[in-house]
Amino acid sequence: MKYFLKLIRTKNLLIILLTMLGVAWYLLQSNTFQKVDFNWFDYSLLMFSTMIIAAAGNVINDYFDMKSDLVNKPEKVILSKHMKPRWAILLHWMLNAIAFFISIYLSVKYSTLLFVFVHLLSINLLWFYSVQLKRKFIISNLIIAFLTALVPLLSVWFFKVLNESGMPYSPYVEASWSTYLDYSFVYFLAICAFVQNFAREINKDIHDVEGDLLAHVKSLPIAIGKVKAAYFTLILLQLPLLIFIFSYYVFDWIELNKITLLLLLLSGAVNFTSAVLYLVKKESTLSWINHLMKWSMFFGLICLFSNSL
């Protein structure tokens, strides 16, 4: 069981769970003055299906990465050491099948192809990423960043499907009534998640250069060198704070409480600290920068729960 939990990346799945719970909590608590249609059972199914698709992606990625992982992180290899590789293929298909059937149920119930489309897109992207696309220059990093940002967006689309009717409005037909919620803060966090995970994937590639050369992966650090890739990563990490400051003062944006503002500023400060550390200590701080990125993303995640305090 211990190796199975490591194989599916339990910590990453918990982050997905907290993100989707956070979006739901934020939207429900921020709109207590109006009726918001919501179904906890169906939303729980959506969270579960999203998590097991991610788990399946982690499993199949490890299956195709066995060769390079023996070089990059031999102490963390699970397949071939603690589990037979063929079980990875079976587990991958079983998890994806369950998630796909859940998406069919949700799509049929709410008369939309959205859930089937997003689930199929995610399943196929993770498969082709593991098989081929992860060896392509930049594309692999963009795919992981995109799928990470897709998690809060999927939660938003669930609320849109339940609350925004496509029927012509009639005061006599309740199904035609719509509740339009403000999703701007969730969109902002999704953009930050994309940028930060894009940077984090590049930072991970810097550490994996030796194994990636063995597996013929064309990563950014291999193409332009570790130093230039590190500088590019650190520039990316400053974007979320700049976007927040620009959008907060230029646009008529959503009101945030002091705790949420503090958390967002802390997240930006952590990313800025990463840049300063690298300028002072260079390559020896890259592993620390990876940990600082996690703290930065954690502060961003907590914002979903803090703005209702």
> Residue 293 maps to which CATH number?
1.20.120.1780
6: domain CATH number?
A: 1.10.357.140
How much is the pLDDT for 43?
Answer: 98
Domain end residue (candidates: 114, 149, 170): 170
How much is the pLDDT for 236?
Answer: 92
Same domain membership, residue 107 and residue 48: yes
Low-confidence ranges of the chain (pLDDT < 70): 1, 3, 65-83, 85, 166-178, 215, 251-254, 281-286, 308-309
Angle (CA) 87-144-239 rounded to 5° is 155
Does any domain span residue 97?
yes
What domain range is 277 assigned to?
Answer: 182-309
Domain end residue (candidates: 122, 138, 170): 170
The domain total for the chain is 2
Same domain membership, residue 140 and residue 4: yes
Q: Compute the distance between CA of residue 216 and CA of residue 211 in angstroms, rounded to an integer.
A: 9
How much is the pLDDT for 180?
Answer: 82
How much is the pLDDT for 154?
Answer: 97
Burial class (CB in 10 A: 0-12, 13-18, 19+), 175: exposed
Provide the whole-model pTM. 0.89
Does any domain span residue 176?
no
How much is the pLDDT for 147?
Answer: 95
pLDDT (tens digit per residue) in 191-209: 999 999 999 889 888 877 7
Angle (CA) 100-153-296 rounded to 5° is 115
Q: Give the other-Cβ count within 10 Å of 113's Cβ.
A: 12
CA 9 vs CA 2, 123, 134, 296: distances in Å: 11, 17, 18, 20
Same domain membership, residue 220 and residue 156: no
Report the residue count for the chain. 309
How much is the pLDDT for 149?
Answer: 96
Same domain membership, residue 191 and residue 118: no
Residues 6 or more apart in contact with residue 72 via CB below 8 angstroms: 207, 208, 210, 211, 212
